[in-house]
A and B are shown apart, each in its own frame.
Chain A
Amino acid sequence: MISFTINGQPARVDVEAEKPLLWVLREDLNITGPKFGCGVASCGACTVHVDGVAMRSCSMAASDVEGKTVTTIEGLALGQLHAVQKAWIEEQVPQCGYCQPGFIMSAVALLKANPKPTDKDIDEVLSNICRCGTYSAIRRAVHRAAALLAGAS
């Protein structure tokens, strides 16, 4: 049994200790926002927050989240739109959209650590893959989200 907090709710799952968090979320908790893309922590489609830190959930064992707090795209603003999601809509970022939950979770973590990132900061931290090539829109959206967050605080 592994217990942790998921999107503000307590969760207890009976899974093998080595089962990756991504598959616990998708198969055992029916949370499908985090996506499977590579299984080797390369593409970032599975990115979630564990105790506020962006992690690639495909490569994190269930036992490693025991007692921790996990947030997925579904729990980012719980029914509201997070500033990053607003910026993503305003800049019309997604194309196929599959990688975007991972990008949004990575961007939220980036802005928390660095509220006013440069293009270079964005390029370095957001190492996720988007095969539709929405990268220019992502850069614009991160800057816009930074402005929205700065305005709100």
Chain B
Amino acid sequence: MKKWTRRMAIIGGVAGGGLLGVGFWFARERDRLGDRKLFNVKPNEAGLSGWVKITRDNGVVVAVPRAEMGQGVQTALAMLVAEEMDARWNQMRVEDPPEHGVYRNVDILIDGLPFSPEEQGTVVDVAHWMAGKLGGVLGVSATGGSTSVRDAWHPMRVAGAVARDLLLRAASRMASVPVTDLVVVDGEVRRKAGGRVATFGQLVDHVGDLSSMPAPPLKKPSEFKLIGKSLPRLDIPAKVLGAATFGIDVRRPNLLYAAVLNAPTFGGSAAGFKVKGNLPKGVETVIIVPGGIAAIGTSWWRANKLLQEGVEVQWQPGPEPTLDSATLWRRYEGLMQDGKPALTRTLGEEKKLATVRPVEATYRAPYLAHTTMEPMNCTAQVTRQGDKNAVNVWMPNQSPTLMRLIAGKTADVPQAQVTVRTTFLGGGFGRRAEVDLVRQAVTCAMAMPERPVQVLWSREQDIKHDYYRPMALARWRAELDTSGGTPKLVSVAKRQVAQSPADQFGARVVGLPSQGKPEGNAVENPPYAFPFYRLEAVVPDGSVPVGFWRSVGHSHSAFFDESFVDELAGALKKDPFEFRRELLAKNPRHLKVLETAAKEAGWGTPLPAGSGRGIALRASFGSIVAQVAEVTVADGKTLHVKRVTCAIDCGPVVNPAIVRAQMESGIIYGLSAALYGEITLANGAVEQSNFTDYDAVRLADAPAMTVHLVDTGSSAIGGVGEPGTPPIAPAVANAVFAATGKRLRSLPLRLA
């Protein structure tokens, strides 16, 4: 997710020192295509650019340098290439390319900048330009912030168009037919008059010395044959056969497994340990690793059991070994009163009236763990090559660039000696951008030279040692003018207290001192035309590690903002949907999305007693999403979310089925948090340990869902991996209010 804000700080510093003049930036779009030999070209293959190669058996292989964690990125990127290449869908394959600057993700850097999407002007333009430039320089390969398709939309299509052009010229030369008489149709080169000239496979030996020409014009949307269709995903057959290789499935010759016990308190470490008795069969050694100890052997199960039962560890406690949740909430309440804001922002003109009626509400959101379905793991091997060490890493991760950096630092070898291979990810959600596992795995591998070591955490370690969605406290206050007959809205103000994952990430990954700035997503402006809006964000220090949790700051801010808008509607005696419509009169895209969700959900139609509908809207990562939740509350205390109606405007849609699946996915992820998600602290440690006390939505709780794609004619590509998550918690809370008259202002939502 958004993880580059702090990185930008150092990068910005470097750039100011003169890199801008060096001109590393790819001068033209096609320079991003990369060298034709770049993409692991094997015998029986021919590279057409750094992004596309063809195979003798008629395959088209696309480089996908983004992590496939379920969001369908392999399919979406292959579709963009196939479209411009006029390939057949069943020809398409994907492969992880080597590390190189052309595979960078520029949008993730741009999104990491501390600006709201609505902010414009010279400063913002310069910063965006710098980020683009620096993305090119650094070759950051990362997946997050719902940026993959936004970043790939143009370059992948260019890669497809260039590939088609090369194949046409190769066929022209091979068959001595003028190129102007040829065309690519259905994955083969044909004469315009009809008749096959060459299959792609037959051209493998004929493209060799041709140089790629500037890209021919790209197709107009009206000419798309594949983009916009719900084509089947490329990754599904292997996943259904149980044959997909996740990180935990990596098997190398002489593989060892390592279980880890992390220091119970945050920031703690192991000072020493004693194994009771002899090491059992299946465990070869126990060592200290960053943050804890690891038992390494031929059985993970046995190693983990030894750590549970057979080792006494002297723990060096972290900085706050007695911290508990109640203390932390009191600290936040103090900061709410008198903490100095790290950010103050106002929109509109403040009007001071002699008498106003205030509407005030305070909201809370707890820490949340990610609980990716695949527990955290990383496999590493340190081998001697001549007089140097080389490091191999196999890992389900969201940033191979970063993993490579940290693996190299940990093993003290140059970057060039480190290879990172990204497996399928059994869920990412932001957790797999973190570098804790690669540090521990490389440390274990150094203790067992030449042998690959697979570090795997138990679910308990995963829940107790996450980088959590920050807990957050918000106070909203509105002022109403009641001097006339009907109350009128005069102003709204929000004061929010939350740690900043972006800030912490920079500190722990690249060692920067904290800058104390709020995380950008947490402070985005609401889309509503409030007469006056004030935001104050207080960013506390804290020893609890926080990270990028699907939709990051939107996940709590949307709950605060959209709950309060509902409360305001109530204070103004307006329907929550109608009230939002009024405030969105000048935002036609938002308005259409909101209206679509309301209409499709049957907003305003009667429901049985004990049922209610709630609506919420949130724009995030370039997309606008509205959701209507319908709930039933039995006996005044048992909450069931019956159905969710979702509308999204994400601009041009590459694969509608994937967009729908991502919306459902985001809703369920957000609903798990809204209904159950709460990480609490006692004695400096997390109290929860497994799905038994940190549950997730299962089939029995899963609402019926419908997703509506809204086309407002916007040409800007929006993300889809995260925007489905933020609106669900407030939509459900607002529905509970409609059903019961009870306003739930704390997450998770509890009626009893």
Report which A residues bind B (CB closer than 8 A).
16, 19-20, 23, 27, 30, 32-40, 42-43, 45, 72-74, 81, 85, 88-89, 92-101, 104, 122-124, 126-139
Interface residues of B in 279-305 (CB under 8 A from A): 298-302
Q: Which of B138-146, B200-208, B584-592, B695-703 contacts A (4 or more CB under 8 A)?
A: B695-703
In Å, the complex CA distance between A136 and B668 comes to 10
Give the B interface residue count (CB, 8 A): 62
A43/B301 contact (C-beta < 8 A), A35-B426, A89-B236, A131-B372 known = no
CB distance from A122 to the nearest CB of B (A): 6
B239 engages A40 (CB within 8 Å): no
Question: B669 near A: Cβ within 8 Å?
Answer: yes
Question: B664 near A: Cβ within 8 Å?
Answer: yes
In Å, the complex CA distance between A136 and B697 comes to 12
Chain A residue, CB-CB nearest to B550: A131
Report which B residues bind A (CB closer than 8 A).
68-72, 232-233, 235-246, 248-249, 251, 257, 298-302, 371-375, 424-429, 456, 458-459, 657, 661, 664-669, 672, 690-692, 696-700, 702, 704-705
Give the residue of B242, B300, B371, B665 whose beta carbon is less than 8 angstroms from that of A133: B665
In Å, the complex CA distance between A45 and B698 comes to 13
A38/B246 contact (C-beta < 8 A), A30-B251, A97-B239, A136-B704 known = no
Give the residue of B241, B244, B245, B665 whose beta carbon is less than 8 angstroms from that of A132: B665
Kindly list chain A residues whose C-beta atoms are within 8 Å of the C-beta of B246: 35, 98
Kindly list chain A residues whose C-beta atoms are within 8 Å of the C-beta of B698: 126-129, 135
In Å, the complex CA distance between A32 and B242 comes to 8
B374 engages A98 (CB within 8 Å): yes
Kindly list chain B residues whose C-beta atoms are within 8 Å of the C-beta of A133: 664-669, 697, 702
Chain B residue, CB-CB nearest to A22: B301
B251 engages A35 (CB within 8 Å): no
Give the residue of B237, B257, B298 whose beta carbon is less than 8 angstroms from that of A89: B237
CB distance from A99 to the nearest CB of B (A): 5
Kindly list chain A residues whose C-beta atoms are within 8 Å of the C-beta of B373: 35, 37, 43, 45, 96, 98-99, 129-132
In Å, the complex CA distance between A40 and B672 comes to 19
Chain B residue, CB-CB nearest to A37: B373
Most B CB contacts (10 A, CB to CB) among A85, A89, A97, A104 go to A97
In Å, the complex CA distance between A25 and B201 comes to 40
B696 engages A92 (CB within 8 Å): no
Kindly list chain B residues whose C-beta atoms are within 8 Å of the C-beta of A104: 240, 242
Give the residue of B233, B666, B672, B702 whose beta carbon is less than 8 angstroms from that of A92: B233
Kindly list chain A residues whose C-beta atoms are within 8 Å of the C-beta of B697: 133, 135
Chain B residue, CB-CB nearest to A77: B241
A100/B427 contact (C-beta < 8 A), A23-B299, A136-B705 known = no
Closest 8 CB pairs of A and B: A133-B668, A33-B242, A98-B426, A95-B70, A97-B239, A96-B70, A73-B242, A135-B702
Kindly list chain B residues whose C-beta atoms are within 8 Å of the C-beta of A127: 698-700
In Å, the complex CA distance between A136 and B700 comes to 11
- Given A27-B298, A73-B242, A97-B239, 7 new contacts (CB under 8 A): A81-B240, A93-B240, A95-B71, A97-B236, A98-B427, A123-B702, A129-B691
A135 engages B690 (CB within 8 Å): no
Kindly list chain B residues whose C-beta atoms are within 8 Å of the C-beta of A19: 299, 301-302
Chain A residue, CB-CB nearest to B245: A32
B699 engages A94 (CB within 8 Å): no
Most A CB contacts (10 A, CB to CB) among B236, B241, B691, B705 go to B241
A100 engages B239 (CB within 8 Å): yes
Most B CB contacts (10 A, CB to CB) among A45, A92, A134 go to A92
Chain A residue, CB-CB nearest to B667: A133
A43/B702 contact (C-beta < 8 A), A96-B374, A131-B373 known = no
Kindly list chain A residues whose C-beta atoms are within 8 Å of the C-beta of B665: 95, 132-134
A27/B257 contact (C-beta < 8 A), A99-B373, A129-B696 known = yes
B426 engages A96 (CB within 8 Å): yes
Chain A residue, CB-CB nearest to B706: A136
A124/B300 contact (C-beta < 8 A), A85-B240, A96-B373, A132-B665 known = no
Chain A residue, CB-CB nearest to B456: A36
In Å, the complex CA distance between A128 and B375 comes to 16
Kindly list chain A residues whose C-beta atoms are within 8 Å of the C-beta of B667: 133
Chain A residue, CB-CB nearest to B281: A16
A96 engages B427 (CB within 8 Å): yes
17 A-B residue pairings within 8 Å (CB atoms): A36-B375, A37-B374, A40-B691, A92-B661, A93-B240, A94-B70, A96-B373, A96-B424, A96-B425, A126-B699, A127-B699, A128-B698, A129-B698, A130-B373, A131-B373, A131-B696, A133-B697
